[in-house]
Structure 1
């Protein structure tokens, strides 16, 4: 019919196709008019699509077809989400999308459905740890939910920009899982560990870990951060792992920058280590001084936790050595970071106010400290029973 926007295209083979050109609204960046050409094998399909586009354009809900991939959506999200973040934090954000990039990265974002995200979740829970094409085991529910949360945020940006019709990731529920309880030590077990490390070369390092410092904070301490006369130490930097490399970063937050007082046992252990390192320096001679000088040039300062040649120990060695010490002491296995949980829990049981514990730990919020780091164990139930006995005792 006259004025029909759908034109018939006759191919050399004699086959007919149906094409129309339609306005799809102004370019959001330039404001210039945009048109899009659509071609179909059947005229009824062309009519259906034309009516849908006109309706959506009139309502302002039309989204033009786009070849933007999931990888590009993720890259755009990370650009803003990690701006100003620590290098290690940026790496963690990127790592959360590893499985997404493997399974959906090359796909156009507009082609991804809710079912695709559900399949992604199943993959992460069963094979998510796969490396180099080898069969893998599943990721934890916590890590899967972390990925879903960041993927939802990534897909929300193109929705707001009018590049996606809807956020299909928001249609997928988080995984239900049982949070594993933290393994912590009792006061008696801490004493057993302290007796086991008494007098060893790096005793002060293990004491610092038991005083609630993070691994990176312990390994980042330099002698210039310690004032033995004032009995204080400053936490000003960390040595952490980032993409298989050891890097220097500031503490996790502004609250992580803190000055802590030293008790007698810790101060004495620091003095012993300092004397040991001076003796090692004299014995090794120029080899020791050259190594430390080169390190100071790149990283600044002489570190507390070093080997016998003055080189700072590797973070993974430190965690492994902690495990070896536990085995020799006959103690139950806990992760190195769980010593921090142990410390803050014991401080709370000793009656230290939660606000003080939070500041000691370098946290921004005492409620976070209480919820995340303070734990009770079976032995603590005895204390509860004794308290109830006193409360309900009839005199």
Structure 2
């Protein structure tokens, strides 16, 4: 083999040292790849030539590539979402939107830790594009999701030898941001028993009364929207089957089963809910007669006066209107689920039953996320200690 380092002379008379080295076949095209490098000294050229040859033989060489961050995210998403549901795939893509906006045009191999730190800082201060005031900061949870997806994408890039290391691996969300997020979460308190009773009483005459009751049974909004008269509601047995959800994915309605097998459950209905369901069914029969041929027999429990099924965004808007009319504290519709499970857990219902009612596979998750004891609940503990210490 001849001398790999060639001495060259530039037009201005300067001397440089150049080499061309094979680095194996392109993993996607199979074509032969070569690198050309030029250095000021022969010593530098020899050292770099030896390094490249060693890493090529060892299978650790990361060859230069002009792929951008957005290009790589496109590639990664195709493989990462092959076996996931449409909604999950949409969540993956949404989580990476801030990365595309902030770093998408940058070459993948030019990314460094400062870029990722800057991305996190921008997201926390001014990265919001929807779901609130544009230009304000996103929540810590949103930033965590973005970092998680980006780390996964970069791990695959490392494995495919597109980058040397995962520059997002050790990025942290500032402690102060986490502290503020925890404080905001602590302020998000679901209704107590008195607030639930006030809301139920105030909405009793409303057409949506029974749908509010179903939410207060701990059903998710998507489960309420997906409830069907024939398949899921048994007024004779006084039960409902939770087996269908109706959600919005990328602007389109998607129907699917619950998140897990445990999510598929049959719930016995309290008397007031049975009565309200019967009243709603009779009312919908009258609405069908009134609408005539314009009525859409969709078969869902939650429909408008023309029989058209609702989506979760409409359920959310109408729920907020009812809260304002009832003059109760505004909470997220999903917090009705928290209120239900907290009430059951603090009323002596065994933990395993509360978890089964919620449709959770993990008992500890139910207790950790959905149970919110308040001062009134703690008073029960104080009363028990009275007997011990008195």
TM over 0.5: yes
- 2:360, 2:75 → 1: CA distance? 30
Q: State the secondary structure of the residue aligned to 2:169.
A: helix
2:287 corresponds, among 248, 258, 280, to: 280
Residue 350 (structure 2) aligns with: 353
Matches within 5 A, 1:202-281: 202-224=208-230, 225-281=232-288
Deviates more, 1:94-103 or 1:168-177: 168-177
Work out which of the residue numbers 182, 187, 196 in structure 1 matches 2:193: 187
Please say which of residues 104-113 and 16-25 is displaced more in the overlay. 16-25
Q: Which moved more, 1:186-195 or 1:380-389?
A: 380-389
Matches within 5 A, 1:375-390: 375-390=372-387
CA shift, 1:111, in A, is 1.3
Aligned to 1:69: 68
Helix, strand or coil: the match of 1:213?
Answer: coil
Question: Following the alignment from structure 1 to structure 2, what is the Cα–Cα distance between the partners of residues 58 and 279?
Answer: 79
Q: Is the Cα–Cα contact under 8 Å of residues 246 and 255 in structure 2 kept in the other structure?
A: yes
Q: 1:37 aligns with which of 35, 39, 52?
A: 35
Task: Tell me how large the CA RMSD over aligned residues is.
Answer: 2.4
Structure 1 Cα separation of the partners of residues 374 and 207 of structure 2: 32
Structure 2: 5+ residue stretches without partners: none
Cα distance in 2 for residues equivalent to 1:202 and 1:174: 42
| Length, aligned pairs only | 379
Distance 1:107 1:7 in 2: 33
CA deviations on 1:256-312 (whole Å, 9 max, x unpaired) are: 222211121111111000000001111121111xx33xxxxxxxx411111111112
State the Cα deviation string for residues 132-167 of structure 1 (Å, max 9, x = none).
Answer: xx9611111121111111211111112123332111
What is residue 84 of structure 1 aligned with on the other side?
A: 83
Matches of 2:36 and 2:268 in 1, distance apart?
A: 72
Structure 1 CA distance for aligned equivalents of residues 262 and 82 of structure 2: 20
- 1:312 has 2:337 as partner: no
Contact 1:141 1:175 in 2 (8 A): no
Contact 1:218/1:305, CA 8 A, preserved across alignment? yes
Deviations 1:327-371 (A, max 9, x none): 222211111011101110111011111211111111121111111
Report how far residue 33 of structure 1 moved: 8.8
After superposition, residues 6-155 of structure 1 pair within 5 angstroms as 6-10=5-9, 18-25=17-24, 34-40=32-38, 42-43=40-41, 45-130=44-129, 136-155=135-154
Distance 1:69 1:229 in 2: 61
What TM-score results when the alignment is normalised by the length of structure 1?
0.88
Contact 1:358 1:366 survives alignment (8 Å): yes
User: Measured at CA, do residues 102 and 350 of structure 1 come closer, stay the same or move farther in structure 2, by a change above 3 Å?
Assistant: same
User: Match of 1:296?
Assistant: none
Relative to the length of structure 2, the TM-score reads 0.89
Q: Tell me the secondary structure at the aligned position of residue 168 of structure 1.
A: coil
For structure 1, the 5+ residue unaligned runs are 293-300
Distance 1:80 1:359, change over 3 A: farther
